[in-house]
Amino acid sequence: MPTVSMTVNGKPVSGEVEARTLLVQFLRDQLRLTGTHVGCDTSQCGACVVHVDGESAKSCTMLALQVDGAAITTIEGLANGETLHPMQEAFRNNHGLQCGFCTPGMVMSAIDLVKKNPKASETEIREWLEGNICRCTGYHNIVKSIQEAAGNMGG
């Protein structure tokens, strides 16, 4: 089997994978980074969003071998010890999560949004989230969380 090497949450990792192994499988099954979730099989729900070289990407729709040499950030790599990233803190502060299953993907996606569009309007936030499905919150508090985080991230 081929070997893949990448940096995950700042640490170099490598492992043998089948050619068909998805990035999310590599993260969850081999690295045991189970914060990244799988909620669908059609690249729709966004529970698996991670950052690949700083850009949000659905890890269920990439092969592990595709990201050979890349820098990956997962939900586990955001906080500094117990100090949350501003986006995580805003989700906590605004009740932007309930069951928590879509949350890692939402947070990773939202960080990329604020990076690309620090002054995003409510409409722009809602349109950006088109690729992340939440069944619990009705999105109201997720939008509120992202708006608050955008302010705190210097947006």
Q: Which residues bind another protein (CB under 8 A)?
A: 18, 20, 28, 32-42, 44-45, 47, 74-76, 78-79, 82, 84, 88, 91-93, 95, 97-104, 107, 122-123, 125-127, 129-130, 132-143
Residue 54 Cβ, how far from another protein at the closest point, in Å?
A: 18
| Closest to another protein by CB, 43 or 69 | 43
User: Of 126, 137, 11, 147, whose CA–CA distance to 74 is shortest?
Assistant: 11
Q: Which is nearer to another protein, 55 or 79 (CB)?
A: 79
Min dist CB 137 to another protein, Å, is: 5
Query: What one-character-per-residue DSSP string does 15-82 give?
Result: EE--TT-BHHHIIIIIS--TTS----SSS-S-TTEEEETTEEEEGGGSBGGGGTT-EEE-GGGTSBTT
